[in-house]
Amino acid sequence: MPALSYYPFFAFIASLTLTCFIRRYAISRQIMDIPNSRSSHTVPTPRGGGLAFVIVFLCSVLFMGMTSAIGMKLMLALLGGGLIAFMGWMDDHKCLPVLPRIAAHFAAALWAVYWLGGFPSMKLGFTTLHLGSMGYPLAILGTVWMINLYNFMDGIDGLAGGEAVTVSGGAALLFFISGNTSMAILCLFLTVSAGGFLVLNWPPAKIFMGDVGSGFLGYTFAVLALASENMRDVPLIAWMVLLSVFIVDATATLVKRILQGKKFTEAHREHGYQKLVQSGFSHGKVTLWITAINLGLAMIMTFSIEQAMIGSTFIVIYILMMMLWLILNKQFTQKEVSSHK
Is the pLDDT higher at 246 or at 36?
246
pLDDT given for residue 118 in this prediction: 95
pLDDT value at 3 more than 90: no
For residue 324, name the pLDDT band (cuts at 50, 70, 90).
very high
Q: Kindly report, residue by residue over 40-64, the tens digit of the pLDDT.
A: 666 889 999 999 999 999 999 999 9
Instruction: Classify residue 205 by its DSSP letter.
Output: P
pTM of the model as a whole: 0.94
Q: What's the length of the chain? A: 341
What is the residue-wise DSSP string for 75-144? HHHHHTHHHHHHHHHHHHHSPPPHHHHHHHHHHHHHHHHHHHT---EEE-SSSEEE-GGGHHHHHHHHHH
Distance, CA of 168 to CA of 124 (rounded, Å):
21
SS3 299: helix
Comparing 136-150, 226-240, 264-278, which segment has the lowest mean pLDDT? 264-278
Q: What pLDDT sits at residue 197?
A: 98
Interval 174-232: pLDDT, tens: 999 999 999 999 999 999 999 999 999 999 999 999 999 999 999 999 999 999 999 99
User: Contact at 8 Å (CB) between 22 and 48?
Assistant: yes
Q: How confident is the model at residue 11 (pLDDT cuts 50, 70, 90)?
A: very high
Above 90 in pLDDT, residue 331? no
The percent helix, strand, coil of the chain (3-state, each to 5) is 75, 5, 25
Do residues 163 and 245 touch, judged by C-beta distance below 8 A?
A: yes
